[in-house]
Chains A and B, each alone.
Chain A
Amino acid sequence: MPPAAEKKDDAANAIATPAGSGSGSGSDGTNNASSSSSSSSAPTSAPAATPEQAAVADIRYQIALLDRGVTAKETRYATRVLRAISRLRHTLNKKILVTALNHFLPTASETKALLLEALALVPGDAEPMDLDSGAVTVAAEESAAAAVAATAASSTATPMDTTAAAPASTSTTTTSATTTTTAPATKAKKPAGPPASVNPEVDAYLQLLVVIFLLDSKVYGPARELAAALLAKLQQHSRRSLDQIEAKAYFYFMRAHDLSGNETDVRPMLHAALRTATLHRDDEGQATLINLLVRNYLEHGLYEQADKLIVKSTFPDHASNNEWARYFYYLGRIRATQLEYSEAFQHLQQALRKAPQTSAPGFLQTVNKLAVIVQLLLGEIPERALFRQPILRRSLEPYLLLSKAVRDGNLTEFGSVVDTHADKFKADGNYMLILRLRHSVIKTGVRMINLSYSRISTADIAEKLQLPSALDAEFIVAKAIRDGVIEASIDRTNGVMQSSELLDVYNTSEPLEAFNQRIGFCLNIHNECVKALRFPPNAHRKALETAEERRDREQQEKEFAEEMAAEED
């Protein structure tokens, strides 16, 4: 069987046959599932299928993964499914979703009615597709045949406990009907039709897809309602396998909440949810909720509360990279506001490293904008190459002009850049930080004068920096000396600034610190990599020899030794 068809078969089976072949001799369901899934990524569409059919098949595959995750009690599968959402959401349309709902949710399901009703708000073709055509049918028929065979083979069929074991997931690609011990005695039915019942995970996943689709279709109000309904439903269950979906549901709920311009206070609800997530040790939930709360605080200018929340809560180590990236960004913003620029810059760099590098251009732009300002506030000039990157070039243009003004120490130019782009800076929420840059501009100006002149009168400095008086210049230079920006002294009687000899930086501990920082960074990466390695249980057994093999080997060695002895004689 060609690989593509095999994958399709696999996915189809998982949905279509309520209970596949269970544990045979030597291979249990969990192992099978993980081995087959690790070899296959998301299914590519069969060549004959239209993009829409492919999308439905994709959803079907994701549902199969979710079911597998429930059976295997592994969170990895749900992670994969949720990660695939960002890819899937670009292909979604009304037709696909209606088809998916009709096929993957039970006919009598309340969710189905609710979701179809919500989808009716979006204009578009709502005619469900006919799935029984082309490649899909072939797969479906094969799985149907397999299901029938499985039923026939199991004479001692026992109905499975649906709540405990959550069937419909352990099907394998081979469907070895002859080794079956459990069978779909109660629920064998037409494979292409809707199932009689689904896991709450699947139900929630489909509702989440509809919420995202509504968001993408700019139907914000109903999207918020639907997400709220989803959250209410999820809170009734107490299943740890739902945690990740719940975290995503909160995320999209808040997204819809923000976009719909709803003014109601959601913070008490988020705090309650955070408490629950913490008690459940639900890492993803905690991470998402902390970020949502911090974001909400920052949106309303409540930096103090945001800071307190961060200090009093621990961000879970095992949170996904995306949540870490967001967290570092918020942390960077708070620290920058509190004037702790070097810490802020560190956090922002971490945010950039953790963020997805190819997708999420908006996030990269926002973080880079803030990072540029913080770097300028630190007295450093950002690298020119940063502003040349294709995804950053346009949106960072005002910031490039700003950096140029600071680098030249030109107050007039700085003022005009701030005035022309004030609206943009305000929209980015960086305006207040940019106003603080004024004294960085002056500092750079003073430093450049100090570098070029060994002796200069304060009146000339005032003229060069466009300051109102020589007295102002004197105070500014004094402050620069105090802050360690320049090495110079002021001769007050003559009104001149006298530059000191330049310090040789290689005589200080500066190089040592720089090297130490870099070495530390490399070692840290290595340690993180080692920690991130995964070892599947019992994988090392394959490498170990069995008793029989050992006997053979010992036998051979013995013979070899005897031969050697014989030769020596």
Chain B
Amino acid sequence: MTIANANALLSKLRGEWTATKPNHQLCGDLLIQLKIALTELSFLPTAGVQSAEELLLAREVLEIGALHSIAVGDFAAFDRYAVQLRTYYFDYAAAIPTSSQRSLLLGLHLLRLLSQQQIGDFHVALERLNSVTLTSDPFVRFPIALEQHIMEGLDHQVFAAVQNVPHPSYVPFMEQLLQTLRSNAESDKLKLSVGDARKLAAKIELHDYSAQVIQNALGYAKELERIV
């Protein structure tokens, strides 16, 4: 398939996606066709120079794909799109103009990591962004503020933040996040309320403790043997 065909497909997809009531089924089919088409272009970048046109095309397909996957609730697909988009947002930053959707999708990716409680990955992803984006971009600032609230324990502010999400696409991930927070709080309560569980835990701890003392002593004996 040539780039012209792919472009034609893309404009069809774009038309459907920007319609007031997009047909998700049709968008999904078009996306599959486009992704197959892309494999014949420079979709999976390897060595060599890619034409800016092909890169722009691939990026737009991925952006629509990512938003579409949220709309139909296929979050695993969103993860894949987000990872693929990073190449276009960072590695090709110099080759193609910045996308208008860039901060929206970066923010969504951050929120997704947060809702999955992948805090380490969340911070790793933050390191990639420059300080201007971090401080002034509303899409990116939102998940960062949420993370700070969670770390400080201000759960009620997280619950309040659902009211003012910067973009409707944020809602599904927010719901996920709240779900995680609720289940965390419940498991904490469970831990505190059951006194028997505590006693049991103490017993297990005692057992571990004596086993550890024995193990340490054996270790010292072995090492001392080696020295003497």
Contact = CB atoms under 8 A, between A and B. Distances in A.
A303 B156 contact: no
Contacts, number: 70
Nearest to A429: B127
Contacts of B216: 512, 516
A337 B120 CA distance: 7
Given A303-B128, A475-B152, A480-B153, 9 more contacts: A307-B124, A339-B119, A432-B123, A432-B127, A438-B148, A476-B152, A478-B153, A509-B212, A512-B209
A471 B154 CA distance: 9
Interface residues of A, number: 33
B128 A523 contact: no
Interface string B203-228: 00000010011001001100100110
Contacts of A438: 148, 152
Nearest to B222: A523
Nearest to B184: A482
Interface in A509-531: 509, 512, 516, 519-520, 523, 526-527
A301 interface: yes
A355 B118 CA distance: 33
Given A439-B148, A512-B213, A479 B123 contact: no
Interface of A: 268, 301-304, 307, 337-340, 426, 431-432, 436, 438-439, 442, 471-472, 475-476, 478-480, 482, 509, 512, 516, 519-520, 523, 526-527
A527 B223 CA distance: 9
Contact of A526 (B119, B120, B213, B227): B227
B128 A475 contact: no
A338 B121 CA distance: 7
Nearest to B158: A475
B123 A339 contact: yes
B152 A442 contact: yes
A520 B217 CA distance: 11
Given A509-B209, A512-B212, A302 B152 contact: no
Contacts of B152: 438-439, 442, 475-476, 479
B67 interface: no
A519 B212 CA distance: 15
Contacts of B127: 301, 303, 337, 432
A509 B207 CA distance: 12
A382 B220 CA distance: 30
Given A442-B152, A512-B213, A337 B188 contact: no
Contacts of B47: 268
A475 B119 CA distance: 20
A302 B128 contact: yes
